[in-house]
Chain A
């Protein structure tokens, strides 16, 4: 049976360290998934492998039954895989509106050059309405024409997420979205993620350290430990799983 994202027997070694050691899990249907684990569990490596930043030594990653391990990040992006970064990346010099519009742009070299000489603005104009709606959703539409570098860290994080949504992804990968966000904004972020999930109904895969945040947000949790998948299931079941408790406390 093939799900939306299938990881089977993925391994990755850095020098003498086995970062991921035959990890397998499957995300069968749309939902908010949390990927957690103690430090050094291999979450980030796993995330990088899915995003195409790392090539696994063994095993395979399938997205809608298509193999995507070792595929370059820009090709994955064009296939509908959107991601955010732990350190939060936006285009600092572009305005907030242009940041969101840029995500919607057709980035194949040929169509870009064609656009340069035809100066066709139809695609951009039709995207602008949606872009402004998204900016309104995160309450920064009044900064639409200000450079993204003028935003606060939390606002930039939200801008990064809506930029991802603008590209109409089929899967959204979030790398520690709660890191560096103050507790008040954390609630906003939580509600915002639930809201956009309800709207898009795609797979959200979230790597997160903040347990309270991810347990209340995710519908299903994947726990990694020492490079392997320790458990997968609903948050309540995970929280009472003996192996998981041992991994975190032991």
Chain B
């Protein structure tokens, strides 16, 4: 059996991603942009699980990311907890808030559910912005420490430098991506997919629709929490504006741009969305206009995102190959 296209794409991205600090060693700015893109890719993976596979749209996902971010930031800054337990607690906190929101709201029909998630995102933003004693209010929480480095024999691993933190973000993204692969390519993933395709049929086949949706929502919120935590650790400050409505909408745009329902869709989407405006800097003030046009073109000609367009393209090419063989 020849290796499948997604597998090749995933391997390429993995190798390129791991080598990025070497390739761009003289250009910290590129690494900076890539790190930021990965910080977005993580919550987009969570969104992919929810929207791409289960078919639920959440307009408040950056709110959950914020819960994970503030929890991790406070634990590291005030309680002095090390990185890994702080990050896991942050994810658990985001997942717990997801659970609290999901239990009453997931019984609602699709568009009502979207409206509720919108409201939840706004409530969470308002809390971040106004709970001054905890979150620092609009000024945010500055001075969040970067994770402690460690030494492996004579090899020093540190996360303070741009490339060091990039590697850390890359590893976390790879782990979350691995989790996504495990979940999607399993009986659980197939059940989620059946809910997206036909909820009534899924129930008639024995799928506990509410239970599955709830677990998907909680996992998705927890993954978003990890992404939020990485983002504030990278920027070294937690500010409410990082978790406002516009950011939540950006997550959805990234997912659709990259390709919802494709494993690497979130990565492709986040990198394109974050990096493209940066590389369009040559166009100066016009760059956001160019960017807007790019999004329009994708929406018009590649409704299933970049990944969808690539898959469709290779299908056409392979069909041509077969025809050539037959006619020669």
Contacts and interface: CB of A to CB of B under 8 A. Distances in A.
A249 B115 CA distance: 51
A132 B276 CA distance: 47
B20 interface: no
Contacts of A51: 204
B187 A111 contact: yes
A103 B205 contact: yes
A92 B198 CA distance: 9
Interface stretch (B106-114, B208-216, B224-232, B318-326): B208-216
Q: How large is the interface on B (under 10, 10 to 19, 20 to 34, 35 or more residues)?
A: 20 to 34
Interface stretch (A9-17, A71-79, A190-198, A203-211): A71-79
A109 B201 contact: no
A106 B193 CA distance: 15
A115 B186 contact: yes
Interface residues of A, number: 32
B71 to A, nearest CB: 24
A73 B198 CA distance: 14
A116 B190 contact: no
B204 A73 contact: yes
B207 interface: yes
B199 to A, nearest CB: 10
Contacts of B194: 91, 94, 102
B228 to A, nearest CB: 24
Given A105-B190, A116-B186, 16 more contacts: A51-B204, A72-B203, A74-B208, A85-B200, A89-B198, A89-B200, A90-B201, A94-B197, A105-B191, A106-B187, A107-B191, A109-B212, A113-B186, A115-B187, A116-B182, A119-B182
20 contacts: A72-B203, A74-B204, A74-B205, A74-B206, A77-B206, A89-B200, A90-B198, A91-B194, A91-B198, A93-B193, A102-B205, A105-B190, A105-B191, A106-B187, A107-B205, A108-B208, A109-B211, A109-B215, A112-B188, A116-B188
Interface of B: 182-183, 186-191, 193-194, 197-198, 200-201, 203-209, 211-212, 215
Interface of A: 51, 72-74, 77-78, 82-83, 85, 89-94, 98, 102-103, 105-109, 111-113, 115-117, 119, 163, 167
